[in-house]
Structure 1
Amino acid sequence: MAEIIPRVFKGPGIASGVDKTAVVNRRDRHTGGMSLFDADAYDPDDMMVHPRHQAMQPVLAQLIQQLRDCETVEAGVEFQRDLLNRVLEVEKDRAGFKRAAKRMRSGKGPHPEAPEPQSGRDLKDVATWRFEQEVCDRLARQLRSVGDALAWRVFGFHRPFILALCRNDSPGLMYGKAGLRAELDHVERAFKEDGAFALLHDLTNCLRIGDITVWDGVHPPRTEEIKTNPNNTKSAQLRRIDQARTAVLEGGPLPGGSASELLYDLDLPLRTHLNVLRDALQRAATEGIYATPVPGSRALFVIDQYACTEQGMSSKQFNEHLQHAVDGALQRAGIAAGRENYNIHVTSLDSTARDPLRVPWANYPLHPVTCARLIGDYAVATVETSGPVLARLLQASGLDARWVRPPGNADLQQGEVIMEIHQQERLRSVPLPGGLTMTPGWTLQMRRSELDRYLMELLQPGSWVAGIKNVLSARQAGRPWPHFRNEHEIWV
């Protein structure tokens, strides 16, 4: 199955005696570098109390509600304009803070047009300006996560389009981009002349191939590369666009260097336990910390920073409460034993608009304010499982599953196989010299993205197991990227 490295906490997890600032300060698993929470530069809580960061919360909630209210092409166009203005405003300030920091490192003062820092830190310290830049980086990602939600919606929550169009490096910032004006003109012309909706890919994190996708209401979505000078269009870019389209509509290989990577339609309905996540978030919004087992050998932990603050929890009280809640959930989920060696976590913490394969929080069936809290890390959800226990769950369903990841709490590596699921062809055997007999079979190797999805999207075990059996029975060589039907009934 497809591979993406999950974000896991160092050590045995968030309930291992570390305080809540240490939970926030972690190394980013996707990029391999430090996250925005760099303890050498500032306390992690500084980000959460920054006026710009706090002011973004109601903006995100309003944008999410505005997106959900869109019923016409005109409303979608207007929403995209509003989101674009927000992103460009944040990225303009980011560029200003970056320029000021660069000038200060060379012994100069900030330029006269530099935006005003709002952190209350020393204006003569270059770290202040770097911090403000990092705040803007984070806010731009948060806004792009709403752009991801727009992309999922206009594609009708049909995951194959996302799987096909995400297979490029992130394009970077929009502010100052040379070709942005040409893209905007194309978007406006599509609406005014044809009544079509054209989505700007740079407003998203999940769409990385092509510049825009156009819906005319008649034909399948059309992805285009827009250049100020048409003669500069690279044939490689056009090939990737064509590969993505062929993969979705005709079953061809996904963009990239491997012809064995194909979309796989499970022809099964998706079933989830997202109601457990919703209830846990509601409980945490009142109690501060809430943990619960989830069917399928999982435990869910939710922290709501607003509620923790309202209750006046000290660091000691926070850690004691968290430890007690997590220990209880792990015990009830049956995954407490061997935690340091075999358990794996995925988390919402500082993950928004980083992994293009994750469903954006704004599409989860949650209140817009709750979605905004998850996007901004004022609410953090973590899901944990035990590898061997998960393998036994699959074995109980008749699958020959083995957890193959070595014991230990080291980070998952790119392409690392964590589980193998084998199926023999019992009705056919092949005689070998020496009186031996070989029974052919198929082995499905599970990598990160499948486990990440099972945990973070809280798939029902029966739905997940049925999908695995479906892939095995098809005996499709290579690396299948499976997707369920009816996702439009799950996401908002």
Structure 2
Amino acid sequence: MTLSKEGTVHEIQFAEQQWMENRCFALLHDITDCLRIGDVTVFRDRGDDEQDILLYELKTNPRRRESTQLTRTRLAAEALHTGGPLPGTDKAVLVETGVPYATHMSVLSDALGRAHQEGLKTMRVPGQRGLLALDIAAAGNRWDAEEAARQFHAAYAALLRRMRLTGQRICFSSGDSAARNTMAVPWGIYLLQPAQCAGIIADLLVFHRDTVVRRPC
């Protein structure tokens, strides 16, 4: 954030106004690394433990309207409330996994460290999740390319069987995401060792994380 921008000052004033007049907490998206649709989220209590979550796209000039931004905000709200498509791509949809959000960065760091020693490592992650980490350089020192690929696929299949990850699965892979996924958080800010962050960015270290999604019958 920079206070030299008129829009930033306007957003801060709006957040202060929400608290002073309505006692509503307003979160400025620019101070986060994940909220990119709209400018401010306002949390408003309705009583009986109910809460409204409102997205605002703020303009210093009330006559100015940017249809693209407003469309993205509308699509995001509809995705949350009615399961509609997410903004950005026709194939993306919001899926409720039922798994509490937790990063488990210590588990990832441990898996990457073990992979650096052994070539690859599979681990269980709390919340019905499985993790496979591969150190390409270490694997190359132990096996040739064909055997390394066989070891990878065999370990991956064994992990899925051990975790009983059957049915619909959501898989997140770090492979080449630094170059391809512009929505991903930069690896350099993760709470990992600098060498691990560099390895993930350069695709010398890669991992797959699988989560099972159970839908009620």
TM-score by length of 2: 0.57
Structure 1 alignment gaps of length 5 or more: 1-87, 89-173, 303-318, 338-344, 363-370, 385-454, 475-492
Measured at CA, do residues 254 and 216 of structure 1 come closer, stay the same or move farther in structure 2, by a change above 3 Å? same
Larger Rg: 1
**Is this contact kept in 2: 1:297–1:334, CA < 8 A?**
no
Q: Could you tell me how far 1:294 is from its partner in structure 2?
A: 1.4
Q: Is the 8 A contact 1:198 1:214 kept in 2?
A: yes
Q: How does 1:13-412 map to 2 (within 5 A)?
A: 88=1, 174=2, 176-218=4-46, 219-255=51-87, 258=90, 261-266=92-97, 276-280=107-111, 289-291=116-118, 292-294=120-122, 298-301=132-135, 323-324=140-141, 334-335=151-152, 346-347=174-175, 351=178, 355-357=182-184, 371-373=190-192, 377-380=194-197, 381=200, 382-383=205-206
Write out per-residue CA displacement over residues 99-158 of structure 1, whole angstroms, 9 at most, x where no aligned residue: xxxxxxxxxxxxxxxxxxxxxxxxxxxxxxxxxxxxxxxxxxxxxxxxxxxxxxxxxxxx
Q: Secondary structure at the match of 2:9?
A: helix
- In the alignment, structure 2 segments of 5+ residues that lack a partner are 124-129, 155-172
Alignment deviations for residues 393-414 of structure 1 (CA, whole Å, 9 cap, x no partner): xxxxxxxxxxxxxxxxxxxxxx
**Which of 1 and 2 has higher RCO (CA within 8 Å, sep 6+)?**
1
Given residue 8 of structure 2, which amino acid in structure 1 is its aligned partner? Answer: L
Structure (1 or 2) with the greater helix fraction:
1
Q: Which AA in structure 1 matches 2:43?
A: W
Q: Work out the percentage of aligned pairs sharing the same amino acid.
A: 30
SS of residue in 2 equivalent to 1:229: coil
Q: What's the secondary structure of 1:227's corresponding residue?
A: coil
CA displacement 1:32-65 (0-9 Å, x = unmatched): xxxxxxxxxxxxxxxxxxxxxxxxxxxxxxxxxx
- Measured in 2, the distance between the counterparts of 1:200 and 1:221 equals 13
Shift of 1:255: 2.9
Q: Which amino acid aligns with 1:215?
A: F
Partner amino acid, structure 1, of 2:151: G
Q: What is the TM-score of this pair, normalised by structure 1?
A: 0.29
SS of the residue corresponding to residue 290 of structure 1 reads helix
Once the two structures are TM-superposed, the CA of residue 252 in structure 1 deviates from its matched residue by 2.6
Cα separation, partners in 2 of 1:334 and 1:225, compared to 1, 3 Å: same
CA-CA distance at 1:196 after TM superposition: 2.7
- Do the aligned partners of residues 195 and 300 (structure 1) sit closer, same or farther apart at CA in structure 2, a change above 3 Å counting? farther
| SS, match of residue 183 in structure 1 | helix
1:275 shift after superposition: 6.3
Looking at structure 2, the residues matched to 223 and 239 of structure 1 have their Cα atoms a distance apart, in angstroms, of 12
Partners of 1:212 and 1:223 within 8 A in 2: yes
**What RMSD in Å do the two structures reach over aligned CA positions?**
4.6
Q: Which AA in structure 1 matches 2:110?
A: D
Note the alpha carbon deviations across 1:223-250, whole angstroms, 9 max, x for none.
1011112111334433332221121012
Name the amino acid aligned to 2:75. Answer: Q
Q: 1:294 to 1:275 in 2, by over 3 A?
A: farther
Q: What corresponds to 1:439 in structure 2?
A: none
Shift of 1:209: 1.9
For 1:248, the aligned partner's letter is L
Give the Cα separation in 2 of the matches to 1:222 and 1:360: 30
Contact residue 198 and residue 215 of structure 1 kept, 8 A: yes
Once the two structures are superposed, residues 303-350 of structure 1 have per-residue CA deviations (whole angstroms, 9 ceiling, x without a partner) of xxxxxxxxxxxxxxxx7x6743687xx75972389xxxxxxx73599x
Q: State the distance in 2 between where 1:267 and 1:193 align.
A: 36
> How many residues matched?
179
